[in-house]
Structure 1
C-alpha cells in the first residue's frame, strides 16, 4: 500500500479478488492487499511463467542442435 515492491511466488497464489482493491490469497492462508488491478497482477504472472518456459526451451533447443552438428554418440555394450 505504501509503494514498496512485493514479490510473491505465483505458484502459491490461490485466489485473486478485486473489490476495488486487489486481494491476493496464498495457499498458506496469508493475504496481501494491492492497489493495482487484478488484470495487471495476472499479466505479470503470465509473463513471468512465459519467460521461464522460453528460457527452458532455449536451453533444450541448444542441446538438441549441438547433437545434430555431426557429433556421434556411441553406445558401449559390455559383454561379460
Structure 2
C-alpha cells in the first residue's frame, strides 16, 4: 500500500498492486484495475517512486524469510 494526497488534501491509501497506469494531464490521475480513476496531488514520478519502494520492501521481506 502507498500513501497519496487527494486534491482536497485528504490522505489516501492505494493498493499499489492494482495500479494500471499513471498520467499527468497536468494533474496526476491514477487508473486502478477496476477502472476507477483517482486524482492526486503528487507527480507521477513520486507515485512511481513510492510503488518501487513498496515493492522493494516486499522483496526484502521475502528474501529475509528465506534466510531462516
TM-score, normalisation: structure 2 = 0.85
Which segments of 5 or more consecutive residues in structure 1 lack a partner in the other structure? 64-80
Which segments of 5 or more consecutive residues in structure 2 lack a partner in the other structure? 1-6
In the alignment, structure 1 residue 39 sits paired with structure 2 residue 49: no
Q: Which residue of 2 aligns with 1:7?
A: 13
The alignment partner of 1:32 has SS state of strand
- Structure 1 position 50, deviation (Å): 0.1
The structure with the greater share of residues assigned to strand is 2
Runs of 4+ in 1 over 2 A off after TM superposition: none
Task: Name which of 58, 62, 80 aligns with 2:64.
Answer: 58
* Higher alpha-carbon Rg: 1
Aligned residue pairs, count: 62
Cα RMSD (Å) = 0.8
- Structure 1 position 55, deviation (Å): 1.2
TM-score, normalisation: structure 1 = 0.73
After superposition, the C-alpha distances for 1:10-52 in whole angstroms (9 at most, x for unaligned) are 1111110001110001110100001110000000000000001
